[in-house]
């Protein structure tokens, strides 16, 4: 998922690296949120709920 033409040291301006890392972090956090939502949906279908501390509890 790297850009087609990654910036080189010669073409980068001050702050570009930080902005790129910030954008990538936002992308990863968005993907993690999407995965968490999918996981919660699957667990709900199985009757399993996540408790506050990350433990899982099977619904009875």
Q: What is the pLDDT of residues 3-54, one digit of tens each?
A: 566 667 678 788 899 999 999 999 999 999 999 999 999 999 999 987 766 6
Q: Alpha-carbon distance 44 to 50, whole Å?
A: 9
Residue 50's pLDDT is what? Answer: 73
pTM, to two decimals: 0.61
Q: Which domain holds residue 51?
A: 35-60
What pLDDT is stored for residue 46 in this prediction? 94
**Is residue 5 domain-resident?**
no
Q: What's the pLDDT at 11?
A: 80
Where are the strands (E) in 1-60, listed by range?
Answer: 48-50, 56-58
**Can you tell me whether residue 5 is helix, strand or coil?**
coil
Q: How far apart are CA 1 and CA 28, in angstroms?
A: 11
Count CB neighbours of 17 within 10 A. Answer: 12
Alpha-carbon distance of 3 to 10, in angstroms, equals 17
Question: Is residue 52 domain-resident?
Answer: yes
What is the tally of structural domains in the chain?
1
């Amino acid at each position: 998922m790297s850009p087609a033409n990654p910036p080189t040291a010669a073409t980068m301006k001050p702050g570009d690296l930080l902005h790129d890392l910030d954008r990538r972090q936002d992308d990863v956090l968005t993907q993690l949120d999407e995965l968490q939502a999918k996981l919660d949906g699957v667990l709900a279908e199985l009757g399993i709920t996540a408790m506050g501390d990350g433990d899982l509890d099977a619904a009875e």
